[in-house]
């Protein structure tokens, strides 16, 4: 029985075990947490492998001709698809054999570009990792990641410069391996040193040696070798002619690499590290003569424009020099050959320029013409004589623009800001501004000595006659920051924080003719800025479109602002300083500009460094600059202004540009403008005192119409027998005389002819008929209550003084103010329109950069409304103002 029980118990246990089996723990490799990431990794490897196989399969066939010879020339076309230039790969290239390259040159380039050149097989992972570390350590690019062989392999991509970067890198590595298989290391190094682009249109190390130093390779010293070896990383960025400080810093780094690699000694490093860049001045002074291959000068019309095209292809689209000169490209450009040819003829004509200096140095110049509605550059001339390595002053030189800057940094920003219009008035009289360093700046006008001061003038008058003081006062009122921001962000001027000063109004920053033409073209294009460009499209040798320009346009100002600027600048050509630029019945706008010699450097010499004319029609905008490349005591312009030679050249070129076009004598007027009658001596609405000859009409944006009534005119009581003397209060021999209420003018400055008759007398007549000074108000009638004044409140931004007065019977009396102002020996009187109120408002100044500094004293009296008898003066209250 016991055995049976044991049997049943065992069976029961087995059944229980079958019903409730024990779970085994799964291994991690069988879980989704491992399998899914593994599948993803495998998938990525497969995709990468496929991408690698496709990229390798599409690797261009190694073209030995690219390394040992030249390929197809590229052709440049004008805007009518006429060929104007053939770009040859042999352009400015002088070959050299391996044996003729000094070891120092070879070792330096290897140390900088590819230190493991003789150890790798084309691609060098170690080189990539190490160069990245060294660059990070140095804080800038000291070594390149690509090997010398890979840099040669890049030539295989001439026909497809827009290929994806990753696939290109793979294909470059494949080609590098092929090159290493076919050629020796010495042959590869020779190919590289003969083909490398080193700036200034120089291909190959020997050409660069002659270009920069006029020396053969064997004659170069370590500093010169270091400069050349530093160029491949960024030939334009380290160009010593334009960025000498950057080039010198790069040379110092390379000298350090040469020292660290045992190419030169520490003594050599110490000797050459601070060698000055004297060769730059030598080249600019034409103290050398580089012999170019004959083919370099063939079939190349409009060379300055073509040079700019080459620059745009590199900077904007990433083409390499090899691709441009050897790629068989068809480059279609915006140049208008008719306009370009006339511009070149104008600059070749010596009659269009002042005589040379005593040492024979020529006055130089530059011009850019573009189409405002698209930004297409129609013509560009960068100097009077072209040389293959010459400076293209049209876009590479930046000079101070003088008064041509005013529309860009003062007038357009003010109109865009609102509250200003062409009738806005400021006082053209001597003014001083605190520089913040204990010195003061006193701007003057170009013709102050000969023509005197203009007094209260409108914006239109200031623009027409290029008045400096007005522009400075307007920018001070607007705020330098506002003008700077508009010019930089809206018009694209390359301003820096150092330019953010009040003298910016007079063009003390640097700009090129290209930037200037683009900015002025924005006015012609109704406030829409079109980015300038020279390349329309580029085709490869197979006809495939490689790049095609898409015009970039952006509205940067209101249509009303652009129209008002056009209207103002039209006045310059019609009545002002730019009348030489008129072209028939065309709607021509323009602005002249002339810079001044620095008195600290030139003493009392009369002359100027720069002369400009910027002008435009609805069809073309053009800018001309004239001056010496280097301004010094022997080289500066004399009696050359923007309205003279520059305007004459502009007219010659633009007359040809407009030939055959339908004449546009006007432009359409946008909505949002109105016409307002105003007082031309205040810019405000005419008052009952404004003389009729000073009531004028002006165009204005609807949101900037003046709302205040002019208070610049006052009635002054003068002696009837001698109207040039003030009459004492209560005098029975007094008559009324209309005068201008203007403060801050120096006593010894002559008033302009239209204002002189309204100058207020500054002395009183006494009982004997002679003059005397009036320092305090008259005693008045003691039967009339005496007024009491409280301390004044002053708002510096509006120059408005508020004077609280004691209670009085406003039905019987009116408040009258007596004011003693700084620098005046007489009292002014003022009866405000709100004279029966408890707070009297009086404005100190309307036309300058603020109220005149000094002490102002105020008295108040009550005047009987029936008899006009005045009571005794109140207590005096004073106001101190310091600027």
Distance of alpha carbon 481 from alpha carbon 486, whole angstroms: 9
Residue of 336, 263, 280 lying closest to 629 (CA atoms): 280
Distance of alpha carbon 699 from alpha carbon 399, whole angstroms: 34
- What are residue 141's phi and psi, to 5 degrees? -75, 110
Distance of alpha carbon 212 from alpha carbon 658, whole angstroms: 42
Tell me the Cα Rg of the chain.
39
Residues 862 and 813 sit within 8 Å (Cβ to Cβ): yes
The token duo for 460 is 């239109």
The token duo for 337 is 């050959």
Give the distance between the most distant pair of CA atoms in the chain: 164
Residue of 796, 790, 767 lying closest to 880 (CA atoms): 796
The token duo for 196 is 């490398």
Establish whether 403 is a catalytic residue. Answer: yes
Instruction: Characterise 769 by phi-psi region: left (phi > 0), alpha (psi -120 to 50), beta (else).
Output: left
Q: Chain centroid to CA 468: how far?
A: 20
Looking from the CA of 16 toward its CB, the CA atoms found within 13 Å total 6
Which one from 73, 202, 337, 403 is the annotated catalytic residue?
Answer: 403
Residue of 874, 824, 878, 863 lying closest to 729 (CA atoms): 863
The token duo for 313 is 């292809």
Which one from 113, 180, 344, 870 is the annotated catalytic residue?
Answer: 113
The token duo for 616 is 């435009």
Alpha helices (H) along 263-302: 266-272, 278-284
The token duo for 825 is 């020996």
Residues 6 or more apart whose CB falls under 8 angstroms from that of 607 comprise 597, 636, 637, 638, 639
Instruction: Characterise 563 by phi-psi region: left (phi > 0), alpha (psi -120 to 50), beta (else).
Output: alpha
Angle at 619 between CA 569 and CA 312, to 5 degrees: 105
Residue 411 burial (CB count, 10 A): 29
Pairing of strands 589-594, 610-616: antiparallel
Residues 496 and 511 sit within 8 Å (Cβ to Cβ): no
Distance of alpha carbon 111 from alpha carbon 338, whole angstroms: 50
Distance of alpha carbon 644 from alpha carbon 582, whole angstroms: 13
Catalytic residues: 113, 403
């Amino acid at each position: 029985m016991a055995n049976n029980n044991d049997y049943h118990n065992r069976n029961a246990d087995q059944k229980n075990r079958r019903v409730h089996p024990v779970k085994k723990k799964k291994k991690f490799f069988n879980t989704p947490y491992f399998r899914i990431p593994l599948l993803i990794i495998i998938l990525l490897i497969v995709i990468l492998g496929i991408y690698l196989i496709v990229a390798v399969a599409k690797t261009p066939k190694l073209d030995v001709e690219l390394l040992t010879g030249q390929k197809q020339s590229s052709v440049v076309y004008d805007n009518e698809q006429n060929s104007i230039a053939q770009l040859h790969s042999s352009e400015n290239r002088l070959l050299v054999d391996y044996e003729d390259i000094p070891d120092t040159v070879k070792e330096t380039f290897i140390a900088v570009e590819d230190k493991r050149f003789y150890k790798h097989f084309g691609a060098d992972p170690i080189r990539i990792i190490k160069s990245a570390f060294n660059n990070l350590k140095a804080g800038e690019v000291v070594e390149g990641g690509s090997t010398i062989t890979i840099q040669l392999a890049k030539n295989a991509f001439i026909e497809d410069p827009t290929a994806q970067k990753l696939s290109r890198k793979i294909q470059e590595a494949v080609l590098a391996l092929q090159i290493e298989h076919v050629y020796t290391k010495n042959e590869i190094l020779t190919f590289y040193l003969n083909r490398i682009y080193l700036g200034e249109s120089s291909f190959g190390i020997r050409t660069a040696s002659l270009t920069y130093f006029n020396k053969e390779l064997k004659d170069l010293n370590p500093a010169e070798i270091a400069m050349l070896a530093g160029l491949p990383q960024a030939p334009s960025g380290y160009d010593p002619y334009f960025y000498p400080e950057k080039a010198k810093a790069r040379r110092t780094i390379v000298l350090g690499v040469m020292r660290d690699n045992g190419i030169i000694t520490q003594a050599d490093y110490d000797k050459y590290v601070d060698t000055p860049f004297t060769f730059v001045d030598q080249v600019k002074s034409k103290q050398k003569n580089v012999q170019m291959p004959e083919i370099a000068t063939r079939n190349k019309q409009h060379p300055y424009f073509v040079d700019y095209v080459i620059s745009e292809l590199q900077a904007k689209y990433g083409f390499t020099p090899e691709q441009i000169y050897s790629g068989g490209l068809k480059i279609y450009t915006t140049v208008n050959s008719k306009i370009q040819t006339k511009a070149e003829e104008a600059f070749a004509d010596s009659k269009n320029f002042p005589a040379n200096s005593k040492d024979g140095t020529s006055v130089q110049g530059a011009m850019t013409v573009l189409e405002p509605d698209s930004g297409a550059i129609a013509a560009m001339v960068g100097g009077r004589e072209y040389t293959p390595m010459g400076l293209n002053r049209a876009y590479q030189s930046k000079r101070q623009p003088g008064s041509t800057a005013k529309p860009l940094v003062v007038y357009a920003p003010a109109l865009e800001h609102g509250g200003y219009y062409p009738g806005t008035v400021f006082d053209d009289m001597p003014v001083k501004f605190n520089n913040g360093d204990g010195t003061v700046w006193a701007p003057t006008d170009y013709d102050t000595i000969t023509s005197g001061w203009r007094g209260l003038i409108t914006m239109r008058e200031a623009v027409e006659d290029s008045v400096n003081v007005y522009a400075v006062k307007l920018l001070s009122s607007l705020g330098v920051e506002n003008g700077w921001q508009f010019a930089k962000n809206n018009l694209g001027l390359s301003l820096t924080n150092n330019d953010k000063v009040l003298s910016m109004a007079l063009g003390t920053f640097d700009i090129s003719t290209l930037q200037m033409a683009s900015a002025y073209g924005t006015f012609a294009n109704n406030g829409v800025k079109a980015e300038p460009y020279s390349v329309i499209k580029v085709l490869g040798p197979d006809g495939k479109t490689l790049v095609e320009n898409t015009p970039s346009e952006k509205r940067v100002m209101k249509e009303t602002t652009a129209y008002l600027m056009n209207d103002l600048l039209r006045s310059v050509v019609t009545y002002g300083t730019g009348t030489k630029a008129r072209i028939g019945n065309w709607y021509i706008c323009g602005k002249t500009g002339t810079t001044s010699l620095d008195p600290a450097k030139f003493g009392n010499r009369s002359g100027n460094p720069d002369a400009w004319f910027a002008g435009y029609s609805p069809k073309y905008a053009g800018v001309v600059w004239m001056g010496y490349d280097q301004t010094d005591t022997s080289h500066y312009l004399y009696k050359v202004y923007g309205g003279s030679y520059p305007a004459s050249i502009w007219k010659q070129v633009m007359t040809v540009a407009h030939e055959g076009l339908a004449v546009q004598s006007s432009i359409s007027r946008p909505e949002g403008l109105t016409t307002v009658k105003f007082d031309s001596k205040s810019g405000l609405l005419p008052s009952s005192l404004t003389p009729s000859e000073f009531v004028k009409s002006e165009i204005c944006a609807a949101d900037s119409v003046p709302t205040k009534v002019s208070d610049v005119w006052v009635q002054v009581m003068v002696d009837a027998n001698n109207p040039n003397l003030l009459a004492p209060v209560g005098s029975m021999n007094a008559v009324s005389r209309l005068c201008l209420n203007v403060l801050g003018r120096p006593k010894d400055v002559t008033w302009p002819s239209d204002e002189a008759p309204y100058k207020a007398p500054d002395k009183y007549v006494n009982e004997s008929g002679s003059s005397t000074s009036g320092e305090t108000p008259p005693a008045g009638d003691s039967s009339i209550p005496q007024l009491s004044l409280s301390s004044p409140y002053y708002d510096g931004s509006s120059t408005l003084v508020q004077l609280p007065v004691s209670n009085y019977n406003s039905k019987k009396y009116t408040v009258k103010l007596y004011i003693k102002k700084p620098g005046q020996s007489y009292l002014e009187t003022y009866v405000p329109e709100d004279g029966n109120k408890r707070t009297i408002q009086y404005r100190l100044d309307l036309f300058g950069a603020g109220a005149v500094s000094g002490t102002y004293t105020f008295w108040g009296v009550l005047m009987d409304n029936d008899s006009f008898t005045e009571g005794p003066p109140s207590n005096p209250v004073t106001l101190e103002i310091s600027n």
